[in-house]
Amino acid sequence: MKRVLARVLFVVALPALLVAGWWLASDGSTNVYWPPLRTILTTFPDVWTGERVSHDLLPSMERLLGGYAVAAVAGVALGTVIGSYRRVRAVCEPVLEFLRAIPPPALVPVIMLFAGIGDTMKVLVIASGCVWPILLNTVEGVRAVDAVMSETARSYGITGVARLRHVVLRAASPQIFAGLRQALSLGIILMVISEMFAASDGLGFTIVQFQRGFAIPDMWTGILVLGLLGFLLSVVFRLVERRVLGWYHGLRAASRRSP
């Protein structure tokens, strides 16, 4: 029980200090662009009503999860193929290095030309940025599969889909999840950027509208919602990762305990 309480206090301590510092630093501020945190928190429930949540937050979540899912499937599938075959990797690496160097926001006008300004464009923008950390981490994870493990599986007749599922993807899964974790934070950024370009709803659109209307406290509430959204998604991701990679974390814990 004491360990649990100590862990909770350790996790909560830094956010509490940051909020307290923000409160003290902004208290009594007369700058229109830097309102007191007290004012922002008072404005929050008036702005983020159930109607606004359904009109702005839920569409953003749908776009984020859609783009993230597309990137996850494409990144893992392509990364597995590229990482498994040396010749494919040799052919694809120059192209991948060129494409990954292009900032995803720079592709927004190009994607708009082909996909319009609807939700498809926003999903593709999110996917175009999220796919790279997933793809590259999958490639490295597949390349690092232990050769002895692969030979052992082959000697036992484990080939094809069974080998891919139980040997390759299982061994590469820690690297894959590292890429998925990086892609999640990147996806939130791209979600906001895509909605700032051309949208009639969503968090990015709403924040820009508040800024253009000089509703600065309302704008800050939107930024807080983004932070809370990122935090909640991170917590959910960690829970899923702990469950899927339970064997991996168990091995690490056992290796730390062993002399």
| pLDDT tens sequence across 170-214 | 889 999 999 999 999 999 999 999 888 777 888 999 999 999 999
In a domain, 224, yes or no: yes
Q: Residue 13 falls within a domain, yes or no?
A: no
Give CA angle at 137 (134, 138), nearest 5°: 80
Is 23 part of any domain?
A: no
Rg (C-alpha) for the chain, rounded Å, is 22
Residue 222 burial class via C-beta count within 10 angstroms: exposed 0-12, middle 13-18, buried 19 and up: buried
Do the domain assignments include residue 1? no
**What pLDDT, on the 0 to 100 scale, is given for residue 257?**
66
The CATH number of the domain holding residue 208 is 1.10.3720.10
Segments forming the whole domain that contains residue 221: 52-245
Q: Which amino acid is at 186?
A: L
Taking a C-beta distance cutoff of 8 angstroms, is the pair 99, 105 a contact? no
The verdict on residue 30 lying in a domain is no
61 in a structural domain: yes
Q: In 10 A of CB 111, how many CB atoms? A: 21
**H, E, C per residue of 15-78:** HHHHHHHHHHHHCCCCCCCCCCHHHHHHHHHHHCCHHHHHHHHHHHHHHHHHHHHHHHHHHHHH
- pLDDT tens for 1-12 read 666 676 767 767
Closest CA to 189 of 233, 221, 219: 233
Structure tokens at 254: 């056992």
Helix axis angle for 58-84 and 169-197, nearest 10°, is 140
- Residue 258 confidence (pLDDT): 59
User: What is Dmax (Cα atoms) for the chain?
Assistant: 74
- Considering the domain boundaries, does residue 39 fall inside one? no
pLDDT of residue 210: 92
| Structural domain count of the chain | 1
Query: Is residue 112 a part of any domain in this protein?
Result: yes
Q: pLDDT digit of tens for each residue in the chain (259 aa)?
A: 666 676 767 767 778 888 888 889 888 888 888 899 999 999 999 999 888 889 889 999 999 999 999 999 999 999 999 988 889 888 888 888 888 888 888 888 888 888 888 888 899 999 999 999 999 999 999 988 877 777 777 887 777 788 888 888 888 999 999 999 999 999 999 999 988 877 788 899 999 999 999 999 999 999 999 999 999 999 999 999 999 888 777 777 666 665 5
Q: Could you tell me the two tokens for 23?
A: 């409160």
